[in-house]
Amino acid sequence: MKPYEWMVKYTPQTEWIEGRGILMWLAEVFGGIGAGLYLVALYFNSVWGMVLGWLIVIALKGGFHLAYLGKPMRFWRMLLKPQTSWMARGFIFMLLFIVFGAVQLAYSWWLPGTTGEAVFMVLAGIMALLVAMYTGFVMNYVNGIQLWNSALLPLLFVLTGVLDGLALVIAASVFGGNIDVLAAEAISRTLLITTAALIAIYLWSATYIGSAGRQSVIRLIHGNLAPIMWVGVILCGIILPVVISWFTHIAGATSAPLLIIAIISEMIGAFALKYAILKAGTYGPLIPVSAH
């Protein structure tokens, strides 16, 4: 972009989605998946799920975040300003989740059923919830990008994180995990429909925030991002899993190939949703003139 073209038109944000910004997208996706899996594993008391969720947050979310930083060796400085910055708060949530999660997993492994295990389950669970949620607040703070400037974003990210966690837990059951698949499917079905409704409300409300919000929604619904939105988010992320889930419900039994298709398509949906939201983030024109 030439200097004189800067901000005359609607300008999509590129920093967190293009080039190395892809790492930021991956960090956000894996943060949701890891924290969601940990929460779901807590509910189903699945230790392997907790371990996997914990590892995803450390290795993938943490790893991609660090790789994105311009000065990764200074990462500890991100602890210093939690009073105003959601990025700093999120970093603290993640560190606390790693510490509490490690203690809880140690208890679950060596001293299961103790009070200590229960206490650290609660603490790590709260931190997992905050890890899944805070990226929504990080984005929601940015009032220049009206699509992101919505209070629904943190809620949407938590819901999708839990959904992804459920998908991974169901996947484990296919390969012999000790999980009540029908119960997980029932929760997943309800959450999928809730998420679909929330996405619709989120996009609808974004059009009322301002012209840049409307522009972002137009790009998502019938602009250059429509294939990602309709195929990735709606078809793969919502419709296919719901249809397969209903089929499982009606048949009263699970089908391993169908479950695998549902899980893969739900994962595609998880990646597509955050990609679409990050990519559609648009600043309004800086000056009140048309394009040169």
Partner 1 sequence: MTRWGMVIDLRKCVGCYACMVSCKQDHFLPPNIFWNRLVVGETGKYPTVTKQLYPVLCNHCDEAACVKACPTGATSKREDGLVSINYDECVGCRYCLIACPYQQRTYYSNGKKEYFPGQGLTELELIGQELYPLQPGTVVKCNFCMERIDQGLAKGLIPGADREATPVCVNACPPKARTFGDLDDPDSEISTLIKHRKGQQLHTEYGTDPSVYYIIR
Interacting residues with partner 1 (CB under 8 A): 3-4, 6-8, 11, 13, 15-16, 68-72, 74-75, 77-78, 80-81, 84-88, 91, 138, 141-145, 283-284, 286-287, 289-292
Shortest Cβ distance from residue 141 to partner 1 (Å)? 7
Q: The tokens 């800067």 sit on which residue?
A: 6
Residues whose CB falls within 8 Å of the CB of residue 90, separated by 6 or more in sequence, listed in order? 130, 131, 134, 135, 137, 138
Nearer to partner 1, 65 or 189 (CB): 65
**Phi-psi category of residue 69: left, alpha or beta, with phi > 0 → left and psi -120 to 50 → alpha:** beta
Nearer to partner 1, 81 or 249 (CB): 81
Nearer to partner 1, 11 or 215 (CB): 11
Nearer to partner 1, 6 or 204 (CB): 6
Pairwise CA distance, residues 275 & 186, whole Å? 27
Nearer to partner 1, 70 or 176 (CB): 70
Residues whose CB falls within 8 Å of the CB of residue 285, separated by 6 or more in sequence, listed in order? 7, 8, 9, 10, 11
Pairwise CA distance, residues 173 & 200, whole Å? 31
Shortest Cβ distance from residue 195 to partner 1 (Å)? 25
Shortest Cβ distance from residue 60 to partner 1 (Å)? 18
Shortest Cβ distance from residue 129 to partner 1 (Å)? 20
Shortest Cβ distance from residue 152 to partner 1 (Å)? 19
Nearer to partner 1, 125 or 154 (CB): 154
According to DSSP, the residues that pair with 12 across neighbouring strands are 282
Shortest Cβ distance from residue 198 to partner 1 (Å)? 23
SS3 113: coil
**In terms of Cα–Cα distance, which of 29, 27, 53 is closest to 39?**
53
Shortest Cβ distance from residue 181 to partner 1 (Å)? 40
Q: b/e for 234-250, b at 16 or more Cβ within 10 A?
A: bebbbbbbbebbeebee
Nearer to partner 1, 85 or 255 (CB): 85
